[in-house]
Structures are given as structure tokens and as C-alpha cells.
Structure 1
Amino acid sequence: MNGASHSLGQQVFQKIREDILNGTYSRGKELKEKPIGEELGVSRTPVREALRQLELEGLITIIPNKGAFVVGFSGQDIRDIYEMRLALEVLCAKRAALSADKIQIEMMEEILYLADFHLNKGHMEQMMGLDDKFHGILYEAGGSKMLEHALKDYHHYLSRARKISLADSKRAHQSNQEHWKILEAVKDRNTKKVEQAVNLHISRAIQNMETSGGREHG
């Protein structure tokens, strides 16, 4: 398979994965190569490649002579991802406390000021985007490409649960205050403080997920 075809397969994979994670394709939905290819304007080959990759990630199951079906996530799957993210995010944030540069800190600060503004206006969609940006810069500031890649994947997998969670104005305000605590610890270069702040942030996210209807995913 040439590079262009492989790249196209990755694009199709990303699109289908996003549709599974945001609930467009629900649990049990059959994913048919031809309709998906027609919708995305590609041949069956990149769709088939994408479906194989999605099966490797456990998001779908391919049953011979029957088809490909969405598996999605259970509540336990989501909790497991949150707990794995917690372990890695603590490590990343502690590194960020030691290595974040002035520009990264200023960018995170600006994001949180903007988030406060949009929260006060009730702009929850903007808040979601700013939440992603804050964590993205924090991951970059950790200085490890491997950690950054893994954490961005976990963050992406939890997109639907986070969207449900952040739709709650009270939780959204609380979440942004927790971000301020994380940033304060990074600015202070205090690894113990940043560990405590990240633990609090993600532990509360797990608690909120369990009571906000985020039990089932996909």
C-alpha cells in the first residue's frame, strides 16, 4: 500500500473513530464499507483499512460473513481510561512544572482567562474547546512526545463523557478553577502541589462522570 493510500486510510480511521466517540455511531451499529466510502468520497480500500484499525483499538468487532459492528465503551472502560490518564497526566504535569517555558505558561493563563469569560457568558461550546487547548499545552510543556501522544489520545477518547460533564455549568466552573490550581503549581515549579492539583481535577471528573449520565459511551 503506498503512502498516499495509507494516509487516506488514517483520515478515514480518524473520522469514523470521532463518529463513534461522539455518539454518531451508537453501540451495535453496523458499519458498511460502501455507504461510508460514498459518504467520505473514498473507495472501499481505505475504509476497510480503517475498520481493521478500529477493531485493533477495540471500538468495533468484525464478524466474518456478517459485518463490522460498533462496540463502543462501557462505563468501566471510561473509568479505566480516566485512571490511566490520571497516572500519565500526573507524570506529565510534574515534568511541566520543571520545564514549562514562559510562553507556554502565558498561553495557559490566557486560555483560562478566556474560559472564565465564556463561562460567565454561558458559552459552553467555547469552554469545551478551551479545555482541550489548556490540556494540549500542558502536555506539550511536559517535554515528552510519547506522553503527549498518549494523553491526547486518552483526552480524545473521553470527549463524549467530558462534553456531558462540562455541559453542567457548576462542573464547568469547578473544572476551570482546578485548571487554575494546576497552572499555579506549574508556575511555582512545585511538583508536589501539581500532583495534588491534577489528582483532584481528574478524581472529580471521574466522580462527575459517574453521576452525569456518562456511564455508557458509544
Structure 2
Amino acid sequence: MLFHSYEINNMITYSKSNLSEIVVTYVKNKILTGELKSGDRLVETDMSEELQISRAPIREALRELHMRGFLSFSPKKGSQILNLDMGDIAEIFSIRIPLEMQVLTIIFEKKLLNEKDLEYLSALNQEMIMLGKDNTSDEKEKNFVFNSCDLAFHEFFWKKSESFRRADILQNQYFQLLTAMNKDTSTLGSAKEKYEEHKNIIEACRSGSLEQALSAFQIHMDSYLNAVQML
């Protein structure tokens, strides 16, 4: 498997220099498992106890997450996951979709994809569909694998394009959307649905047709947007 069982409490053997990054990863993993949703509070004392680290690197990590647009802060509520309404979600999609289409266009124009890349994407996609046959994992672990595979699928294109500024923006947008969708995980779709949508993107890439690839990607994004609008 490309993604093994997640471990939140002991995820990294760490040194003092990377404590704040551990906290960032901790928060991201909680989002990937579906445990953190829009509006949820992040309590420094709870995080300090769970991660067994001091509060200083936690504060540093929370500042970074705030700068990335993951968190909001108020004197009464402290740090909390950004609470997104339908207008916010629509705006994020209006940013994400054009950027991802630009990424695909760059990849096709520079002919950056090869068969090995497509095999890797197919392997990620296969892991996603295997979730439907897994009766041993709990819901948090299934969410983690599902969302990690989906993130890795999209992240591959972002990084392949070598457009690092777009990649940074897109990753932040991805996690912001996921916190909103975690309020009702039906918006994420089933493993089978995402498998088919990803498969169509892979096949379009294999065909060498940018037009087909953009169309397959648009259909994939529309399925998320339509699901969210129905809530």
C-alpha cells in the first residue's frame, strides 16, 4: 500500500528544530481523518498534552496555519478552523479550478508526463477503490487513506508542472475545502465515484489530448461543487 495506517500521537521522531512542523502535520492529519471541521477549536493545552511538547512550538505552528488560511482567531474563541459558508466554498472553487487547469496545460505544453507517471497515478487510484473492500479499518483510517490518496493524486500534477507558487496555493485551498466538506462527508463522494473520475483523468492524459484532460478534470470538480451546493 502507498498509504499505511495513520498514527497521530507518534507520527514523527522529532527534534527541537521541527516541533512546529509536527504540529502543522498533526493538524493536517486531523483534517484528513475528518476529525477537524470548519469552526472546530484548537486548544493549545490539549495539543500540548497529546503531542507531549511545550506550547511554544504549538503557538508558532498556529501562526503559520493562520497565515496559510487554515485558521481564524478571536479573543473569545482562540484559534479555530476557518468557518466556511457556501460563498467561501464557491470562491475557493473559483480559484482552484482555473489554477489546476493552468497546471494541466503547462504539463501538456511541456510534455512532462510519461507512462511511469500514469502508472503511479493508477496505483494511487487503485488504493482508493480498495477502501470499498476493506472491512478491517475504522472510519478515521478510511477517511485518512481516501483523502490522502486524493490529495496525492492532485498534488502530483501540481508538483509535476514545476509551478511551485501554484502548488502552494492549491494545497492550502485543498485543505480549506476539506475542512468544509468534513461537516458532511457525503460531499466527498464514494471511493468508486472518485476512482472512476480519476481514471477518466488518467485515460485522458494517456490519450495526449489536453482538451479531454481538461474536460475530465472539470467533470471531477463539478461533482464536488454540485454535492456541496445540495447541502
Residues 48 and 89 of structure 1, relative CA distance in 2, 3 Å threshold: same
**What is the rounded CA distance, in whole Å, between the counterparts of 1:55 and 1:19 in structure 2?**
16
The answer to whether 1:149 aligns with 2:168 is yes
One-letter identity of the residue aligned with 1:83: S
**What is the rounded CA distance, in whole Å, between the counterparts of 2:202 and 2:37 in structure 1?**
36
Which is higher, the Rg of structure 1 or of structure 2? 1
Shift in Å, 1:86? 0.8
Unaligned runs of 5+ in 1: 214-218
Identify the match of residue 100 of structure 1 among 113, 117, 130.
113
Listed as ranges, the matches of 1:1-218 within 5 Å are: 7-16=18-27, 18-19=29-30, 22-24=34-36, 27=39, 29=41, 31-56=42-67, 57=69, 59-63=71-75, 66=76, 68-75=78-85, 76-97=87-108, 98-119=111-132, 121=133, 125=142, 126-160=145-179, 161=181, 164-165=185-186, 168-169=189-190, 172-211=191-230, 213=231
**What is the rounded CA distance, in whole Å, between the counterparts of 1:110 and 1:206 in structure 2?**
26
Residues 156 and 67 of structure 1, relative CA distance in 2, 3 Å threshold: closer
Query: Deviations 1:23-50 (Å, cap 9, x if unpaired)?
Result: 4476263x44334323221112112222
Shift in Å, 1:190? 1.4
Query: Deviations 1:172-204 (Å, cap 9, x if unpaired)?
Result: 433322212211221122112211111111012
One-letter identity of the residue aligned with 1:99: L
Shift in Å, 1:74? 1.6
| Count of equivalent residues | 203
More helix by share: 1
Residues 154 and 199 of structure 1, relative CA distance in 2, 3 Å threshold: same
Alignment RMSD (CA, Å): 3.2
One-letter identity of the residue aligned with 1:191: L
Sequence identity of aligned pairs in percent?
A: 22
Residues 49 and 142 of structure 1, relative CA distance in 2, 3 Å threshold: same
Residues 79 and 73 of structure 1, relative CA distance in 2, 3 Å threshold: farther
Residues 46 and 135 of structure 1, relative CA distance in 2, 3 Å threshold: same
